[in-house]
Amino acid sequence: MEKIWLKQYPQGIPSEINPDAYSSLVDLFEKTCQKFPNKIAVSNYGVSLTYAELRKKARDFAAYLQQKLQLKKGDRVAIMLPNVLQYIVCMMGILEAGLVVVNVNPLYTPPEVVHQLNDAQVSAMIVLENFAHTVQLALPELSLQFVIVTRMGDLFPFPKSYLANFVVKYVKKLIPKWAIPDVIYFSDALHESKHLSFKPVPLSGQDIAYLQYTGGTTGHPKGAMLTHRNMVANTEQATAWISNVTKLGEEIIITALPLYHIFSLLANWWVFMKLGAHSVLITNPRDIHGFIKELKGISFTAITGVNTLFNALLRQPGFATLNFSHLKITLGGGMAVQPSVAEKWKEVTGVPLIEAYGLTETSPAVAINPLDLHDYNGSVGLPVPSTDISIRDEEGHELGLNQPGELWVKGPQVMQGYWHEPEETAHVLKDGWLYTGDVAMMNEQGYLRIVDRKKDMILISGFNVYPNEVEEIIAACPGVQEVGVVGVPDERTGEAVKAFVVKSDPALTEAQVFEFCKNQLTLYKIPKTIEFVTELPKTTVGKILRRELRKTEPSL
C-alpha cells in the first residue's frame, strides 16, 4: 500500500527511524542515565529515585542475579509486581544482567501462574508479598529455582519503609498468610549485592528482552518474543512522534496503567525514560479518590490510560479541580476510546485525548494520531515511522481505500515470533508481515479506523479475554455440559464476559459457576452474567457459533 499517510505527518516528524540507534535497551538506559544522572527517573508515594540512583540499584540487583543466583544470559526471570519502585529496579537489573523479563499479572490465579511460568521456563521470579500466597499455591507445579519476595516499602527510606510495611500487613490486612521454602527477601538481596561486582553482558538487538504473554489471534496465552531491537525501534518511533511537543529532562508522566502491560511498558517507561522524564507510579489506580489525591501538586505533562480509566477520573468531582496547565499529552490505547469520554476530557482538561493502536506483537505501537489534533476523530491515527500497512481480503489481495479487510503490519517493531510456538508463529508471520486478525480500513488521508477486533476476543478495560480460556474453565465445573462465552457491552469496562451454559445437572446454579470461576480465573475474566440455555448453536461439525450467541444480545 502506498504510504499516503506520510503527507499527513506533522512538520518535523521523520518518515523513517533508525532501529539500530542503540545496540540494546541497556545501551539506551545507560546513555540516558549518563545524560540525566541527577534528574528524577521514577517516584512512588512521594519517594523518588534519580537516574543515577536507579542505575546503581539496578546494577546491584543484576550482580545478585549473576553471582548469587548464577543466572546466565538468556535465562527468564518473572516479575509479578504492580507499579512500585521495585518493578523498575528489578526490570532494569534483569535486562542489565542479559536476562529475559517475563511480566506476570499480580492478579493471576495459581493455574494461570503455573501455565505462564512453566511455558516460559522461568528460573526465578520477584513477587510482591501481597501475592506471595498465590505463588505458594502454584509452587508444587512449578519448575522454579528461586522466589524473591519484596514488601511494599522496601525501597522507601526509614522510617517510611517500616510504617508502609506495617500498615499494609497489620492495618489494611492486605497480605494473606503464605510460606515459601528458601524464600529470598528483596531487601536482603539488595543489601548483599552491595558487596558484589556487576559484570556487563554483551547484548545485541537480536537478543530477546521480553517474553510478553498474549492470546494473539487464537486465544491460548503465548509469549511474544520482543527483542531489544523491537523495543528500541518502537521507542524511536514513538519518541519521534511526540518530539514536537516534548522537552528533554522536563516531562512528568503519570503511570497509572500497570507496567506489566505492553502499552504502559513502552509508552510510559521506555519512551519517557529516553526523554529523561520523571515517571510517577500509581500503584492502585482503582482507588480513584487516592489517585486524584496523588495528582494534586504534580505539574504533570503527560498521562496515558484506557477509556475506563479516563471515564472514572472524569466522574469524580475532584478531578476537574486539578491543575492541567502543564498537560500536553493524553494518550488512550488498549481499548477503543468512546467519543463522549474524549469530548468530556477535552472540556475538562483543555487537551485532546489522542487515540492510538497497537498489539503486543508489535511492541506495541502501530498507529498514533498526530498530537496537533484538535478534537477526537474516531480513528486510531496514522502509521508510525518505518511502518508498512496493508489491508487485505480473505484471499490475501490488497484492498483499496475505505474498504474493510484484515490489517497487516510490517516494521522493525514486529516481534520475532511466539516462544516455542512455530506453528502459531507461521500462522501470523509471513514474509515479514504480521497478520493482526483485526479488521480495519484506511481513508484518503491515510488515517486508520479499526472496524472490528479479532473475531471472538473480549476487551475489558484494555485487557484481552479469550473465550477459549474461560470456556475451558467453566466446562470443568461439575454440572456443566457445554458452554459458550461472548463479550457483551458494559458501561464501566467497555465489555464484560457472558457465559451461555447447558446444564448436565439440573440443580446447578449461577452461584456455583461463579464460585468455581473465582478459584480459576483472574477477576476481570470471570463472567459477569450467566445464562442457562437448553442448547448452543453449532456448525455441522459441532463448533459452537459464537456469532449466533452474540446475536441474542442487543447492541452486539
Q: What percent of the chain has pLDDT over 70?
A: 97
Write the class of the CATH domain 47-203: alpha beta
Mean pLDDT of 149-168: 97
Contact 97, 117 (CB under 8 A): no
Evaluate if residue 554 carries a pLDDT over 70. no
Mean pLDDT of 286-310: 93
pTM confidence score:
0.87
pLDDT for 540: 44
458-551: which CATH topology? GMP Synthetase; Chain A, domain 3 (3.30.300)
Evaluate if residue 434 carries a pLDDT over 70. yes
What is the β-pairing status of strands 417-418 and 222-227? antiparallel
pLDDT for 556: 41
pLDDT for 177: 97
Domain boundaries, the chain: 47-203, 386-452, 458-551
Least confident span in 208-217, 402-411, 476-485: 208-217
Q: What is the pLDDT of residues 228-255, one digit of tens each?
A: 999 999 999 999 999 999 999 999 999 9
Helix axes 51-63, 186-193, angle to 10 degrees: 90
Domain 386-452 has CATH 2.30.38.10: yes
Evaluate if residue 541 carries a pLDDT over 60. no
pLDDT for 455: 67
Nearest to 99 by CA among 63, 79, 73: 73
Split at pLDDT 50, 70, 90, the class of 550 is confident
Contact 279, 271 (CB under 8 A): no
Split at pLDDT 50, 70, 90, the class of 105 is very high
Q: How many CB atoms lie within 10 A of CB 104?
A: 24
Mean pLDDT of 271-278: 98
What is the β-pairing status of strands 353-358 and 365-368? antiparallel
Split at pLDDT 50, 70, 90, the class of 465 is confident
Q: Report the chain's mean pLDDT, rounded to a whole number.
A: 94
pLDDT for 468: 77
Burial of 333 (0-12, 13-18, 19+ CB in 10 A): buried
pLDDT for 216: 52
What is the rounded CA–CA span in Å between residue 479 and residue 481? 7
Burial of 74 (0-12, 13-18, 19+ CB in 10 A): exposed
Q: What percent of the chain has pLDDT over 90?
A: 82
What is the rounded CA–CA span in Å between residue 411 and residue 77? 28
Q: What is the pLDDT of residues 328-362, one digit of tens each?
A: 999 998 777 878 889 999 999 999 999 999 999 99
Mean pLDDT of 157-174: 96
Evaluate if residue 218 carries a pLDDT over 90. no
Question: Which residues, in sequence order, are bridge partners of residue 484?
Answer: 500
Cα Rg, the chain, nearest whole Å: 23
What is the rounded CA–CA span in Å between residue 525 and residue 467? 9
Q: What is the pLDDT of residues 479-495, one digit of tens each?
A: 998 899 999 999 889 99
**Residue 121 one-letter amino acid:** Q
